[in-house]
Chains A and B, each alone.
Chain A
């Protein structure tokens, strides 16, 4: 059955490189070689000029918190047992991306906080990214 996480191996997605990079601790995305457009989430087609000539660029590992909240009730199946947990929008490498925020409660966060990239491994070997507040 499908769950919330992206399919990741080369047999199921054409952006499997993203997850291979993530396994090595690197948060990356695609950038168009022709027009320079930075594309998030990773793509196989530039939405701006429709070129397929894309390259992988490193977004870095430190982000800045732009907005956040805490999921207290109404978490979807598969995340109910984690609640309450924080989520936020994080500015990193010219993007503003959503992420879960580990290692912090709502009252411990503020807009502008510096957050660190964290890689989480799922039970089936897939990986995904989160951010944490350095202690």
Chain B
């Protein structure tokens, strides 16, 4: 196995964009290649495109060759779209990593894109309802907000977590997204703003939920020994973990404790040969405020049930026990499904390179974890990066 490095990347601004799926990939592709002047599209031999539902959101399928065509890439080793719903972008990175690590590929692009704004937004909501077991859970209107609302209800019921504590996750992440020019919501909010926002599915309010987002992003992976050909500041991929338990809500391990995440986190740290205290930055999948709280617990930064107290004490802010989502998170930056993990990777790289604004820069960071969950939190995927 070769050690693998990410040598650069680029992205679109996220949000409600006046742009098609095809426009977004061209914008992100240009930014990605501009970030790596020594790399020509002709050097890329493999391409993975993380895209959760282009068939439904943009009425496009077979999108990997569309990206190749638009960016002047001619894949000749491995080409595929990768789908793992909200972790589709991480799936693209994982596949690219495996291809480069194995020696099959020399230069692989992990790309991600989602165009979620549609002429009729009820159709967009409908698209999100075939993610959970469509005939047995989706049929009961279990898309993400109702499912995570019940998750939050159980966490509140079992551990006393409060709506104010959940709101504080949104406040923290917006504090950082206010300093991120790519963010969908680049402005600060207060606990009161969150609590007074529109009720979506109690106890979750609009600001407890990440947005509907258009966006695209790409990164380039090569063998570590080749990295210096492309950049003075490569970011190394040093570990990973992934676990899945069940699919239908009846078959989940637990509603109030994310056991697959505990398994994936343990594997990620072991494979990177690090401990939790080595982690300086954690990009955690805050699709909902309750998610980030449960992720503190499953990783082990605090005990089970104490995630609410952890954010209340400011331990997940920059300067706390671990800097969680200094990018601004999904809550602040938006969640263009297939692009999300790529956006996380680019921001971590920029953190290591000292290219982010002072107010959200984690000084001297050496190690970061990037986490995505998908579906009813039955799948958790983690990558470990180092400077």
A79: chain B residues within 8 A (beta carbon): 141
B 153-166 to A, binary, CB cutoff 8 A, 1 in contact else 0: 11001000000000
Q: How far is the CA of A94 from the CA of B71 in the complex (A)?
A: 53
Q: Which of B134, B141, B143, B154 contacts A67 (CB 8 A)?
A: B154
Q: Which of A6, A76, A111 contacts B135 (CB 8 A)?
A: A6
B129 beta carbon closer than 8 Å to chain A? yes
Q: Would you mind naming 21 contact pairs between A and B with Cβ atoms under 8 Å apart? A: A5-B139, A6-B136, A40-B248, A67-B150, A68-B150, A69-B149, A69-B204, A70-B202, A71-B146, A72-B202, A73-B200, A74-B145, A76-B125, A76-B141, A77-B123, A96-B249, A96-B250, A97-B136, A100-B140, A100-B141, A106-B202
B 172-200 to A, binary, CB cutoff 8 A, 1 in contact else 0: 00000000000000000000000000111
B322 beta carbon closer than 8 Å to chain A? no
B150: chain A residues within 8 A (beta carbon): 67-69, 88-89
Interface residues of chain B: helix, strand, loop or mixed (majority) = helix
B226 beta carbon closer than 8 Å to chain A? no
Q: Tell me whether A68 and B122 are in contact (CB under 8 A).
A: no
Question: Least Cβ distance of A91 to chain B in Å?
Answer: 10
A66: chain B residues within 8 A (beta carbon): 154, 255
B104 beta carbon closer than 8 Å to chain A? no
Q: How far is the CA of A96 from the CA of B250 in the complex (A)?
A: 5
Q: Closest 5 interchain pairs by CB?
A: A69-B149, A67-B150, A76-B126, A6-B135, A4-B139
A80-105 contacts to B, CB under 8 A, are 80, 85, 87-89, 95-100
A41 beta carbon closer than 8 Å to chain B? yes
Q: Tell me whether A128 and B139 are in contact (CB under 8 A).
A: yes
Q: How far is the CA of A78 from the CA of B125 in the complex (A)?
A: 11
Q: Tell me whether B143 and A74 are in contact (CB under 8 A).
A: yes
Q: Tell me whether B125 and A75 are in contact (CB under 8 A).
A: yes
Question: Least Cβ distance of B253 to chain A in Å?
Answer: 12
Report which residue of A4, A85, A96, A128 has the largest number of chain B beta carbons within 10 angstroms of its beta carbon.
A4
Q: Nearest residue in A to B212 (C-beta to C-beta)?
A: A74
> Known interface pairs A40-B251, A89-B255, A98-B136. Does A69 touch B122 (Cβ–Cβ under 8 Å)?
no
Q: How many residues of A contact B (CB 8 A)?
A: 33
A85: chain B residues within 8 A (beta carbon): 141
B203: chain A residues within 8 A (beta carbon): 69
B34 beta carbon closer than 8 Å to chain A? no
B377 beta carbon closer than 8 Å to chain A? no
Q: Nearest residue in B to A4 (C-beta to C-beta)?
A: B139
Q: Which of B126, B140, B201 contacts A72 (CB 8 A)?
A: B201
Question: Least Cβ distance of A49 to chain B in Å?
Answer: 16
A70: chain B residues within 8 A (beta carbon): 201-202
Q: Tell me whether A4 and B149 are in contact (CB under 8 A).
A: no
Q: How far is the CA of A41 from the CA of B125 in the complex (A)?
A: 24
Q: Tell me whether B199 and A72 are in contact (CB under 8 A).
A: yes
B27 beta carbon closer than 8 Å to chain A? no
Q: Tell me whether A41 and B122 are in contact (CB under 8 A).
A: no
Q: How far is the CA of A67 from the CA of B184 in the complex (A)?
A: 32
B65 beta carbon closer than 8 Å to chain A? no
B 109-142 to A, binary, CB cutoff 8 A, 1 in contact else 0: 0000000000000110110110001111111111
Q: Tell me whether B129 and A98 are in contact (CB under 8 A).
A: no
Q: Nearest residue in A to B200 (C-beta to C-beta)?
A: A73
A22-75 contacts to B, CB under 8 A, are 40-41, 66-75
Q: How far is the CA of A74 from the CA of B129 in the complex (A)?
A: 10
Question: Least Cβ distance of A67 to chain B in Å?
Answer: 4
Question: Least Cβ distance of A32 to chain B in Å?
Answer: 15
A105-133 contacts to B, CB under 8 A, are 106, 111, 128
Q: Tell me whether A87 and B135 are in contact (CB under 8 A).
A: no
Q: How far is the CA of A74 from the CA of B141 in the complex (A)?
A: 9
Q: Which of A68, A75, A96, A106 contacts B141 (CB 8 A)?
A: A75
B128: chain A residues within 8 A (beta carbon): 76
> Known interface pairs A69-B149, A97-B249, A97-B250. Does A4 touch B255 (Cβ–Cβ under 8 Å)?
no
Q: Nearest residue in A to B209 (C-beta to C-beta)?
A: A74
> Known interface pairs A89-B255, A98-B140. Does A74 touch B125 (Cβ–Cβ under 8 Å)?
yes
B125: chain A residues within 8 A (beta carbon): 74-77
> Known interface pairs A67-B154, A74-B125, A76-B126. Does A98 touch B143 (Cβ–Cβ under 8 Å)?
no
> Known interface pairs A67-B153, A69-B149, A106-B202. Does A76 touch B122 (Cβ–Cβ under 8 Å)?
yes
Q: Which of A72, A75, A98 contacts B137 (CB 8 A)?
A: A98
Question: Least Cβ distance of B279 to chain A in Å?
Answer: 31
B143: chain A residues within 8 A (beta carbon): 74, 76
Q: Tell me whether A99 and B140 are in contact (CB under 8 A).
A: yes
Question: Least Cβ distance of A41 to chain B in Å?
Answer: 4
B 296-316 to A, binary, CB cutoff 8 A, 1 in contact else 0: 000000000000000000000
Question: Least Cβ distance of A34 to chain B in Å?
Answer: 19
Other 11 A-B pairs with CB < 8 A, given A69-B149, A75-B141, A76-B122 = A4-B135, A5-B135, A40-B248, A71-B146, A73-B198, A74-B125, A75-B125, A87-B141, A87-B142, A89-B249, A96-B250
